[in-house]
Amino acid sequence: MNEAPTSAGKYVRFDASTYDSIVMEEDGVLYVTDEDRRAILTTRILRRGSQHNPEEDILPLESGSDGEVPEMREMKLFHCEKLENLFYEGYSEHLSFSPGCKGKLIFDDRGEIKKGVCYKEKLCCKKCKYVSSRHELYDVVQSSSRGAKTAAPNIGLQVGLSHTPAGNTDLRHILNCAGIQAPSRRVMQSTANKVIDKTVDINKANMKSIRLGLKKINSLKGLDPETPILIEGDAQYNNRLGSGVGKTPFQPATQAVNTVCENVTSEKKIISVSILNKLCKKCGGYTVKNAKNHTCINCTANIAIDTSIGDEELMASMCMEEILADNQVKLFWSNFG
């Protein structure tokens, strides 16, 4: 490294992104560098500042000239009929509470409760002391479990995300850019976990109904009810298996999905899916199944680290176990890639 010039300027603390791009550390000394990473120190540098995360930004809302608080000028998601009921009840009660009051009814921000992208709201008068009861301005999803019911729009958002390549971070960015205060990541992930579990159950039930319907289709075709059902399957990996040749002694893929579809109809519907996964955030990324020191509860990995991720025979057998559990379907492999 070229000898750095003597520092003779004021102290400067760069933000994290700028720090990473122009500051270099050598033997505990910080240097500002040029595009070729050569020291051109002209200031005394302090350690990096905090990382600015633009995804956390909410669009600035200017205060109104009439003194309205910024929260009253943001966009919110409300159920129209429930909002009408809140104001109808509020106006009626306000007239009874204070007949001569000409004050304006507004949302009481002190009584507001945020539920993801939805809200529970109260009304209050700007002149008298009237405060309405709190109303849920959203539909809820009925559940047999105890506790507060989940707002339907929060569930709907996660269902929609599951059909797109976007994730919760992308959705938060979109909502914030639209001036809608996005839910916290924790709340969104909690809702996503519920939706994912339910989606898995629904898809398994749907695939089972398709499998049981295949025998009926054979009968409608005039075939013997015991005619084997033609199927085919193949596996996909999160990384191409050959991509690690010469680069890593380990397997390049950590996740694999095997799909089996029927060849009885032209629709070729999926009738079974098996998944191999070596990853688990709770127990440090990789896990070794059946190890004595393995104490991870609800571990997401279902195979050990030393199991071949390319074992398509294992994945096929997992699908066969699920299909044969129906006890009504006989199968015949037409193709298995």
pLDDT, one tens digit per residue, over 216-274 is 888 888 887 677 888 888 899 988 887 777 787 777 888 899 999 988 888 889 999 99
Q: In the predicted model, is pLDDT for residue 204 greater than 60? A: yes
Q: In the predicted model, is pLDDT for residue 289 greater than 70? A: no
Distance (Å, rounded) from C-alpha 126 to C-alpha 108?
A: 10
Distance (Å, rounded) from C-alpha 157 to C-alpha 144?
A: 22
Give residue 168's Cα distance to chain centre: 4
Question: For the chain, where are the alpha helices, taking DSSP H only?
Answer: 16-22, 80-97, 152-162, 168-177, 185-220, 312-324
Distance (Å, rounded) from C-alpha 94 to C-alpha 124?
A: 9
Residue 216: the pLDDT is: 81
The residues, any chain, with a CB within 8 Å of residue 302's CB and separated by 6 or more, are 275, 276, 277, 289
Q: What is the band of 4 on the pLDDT scale with cuts at 50, 70, 90?
A: very low
Degrees, nearest 5: CA angle 83-117-188? 155
Q: In the predicted model, is pLDDT for residue 84 greater than 90? A: yes
Q: What is the band of 28 on the pLDDT scale with cuts at 50, 70, 90?
A: low
Contact 228, 331 (CB under 8 A): yes
> Which is more confidently placed, 116 or 304?
116
Q: In the predicted model, is pLDDT for residue 69 greater than 60? A: no
> Which is more confidently placed, 20 or 57?
20
Residue 56: the pLDDT is: 41
Q: In the predicted model, is pLDDT for residue 313 greater than 80? A: yes
Q: What is the band of 90 on the pLDDT scale with cuts at 50, 70, 90?
A: very high
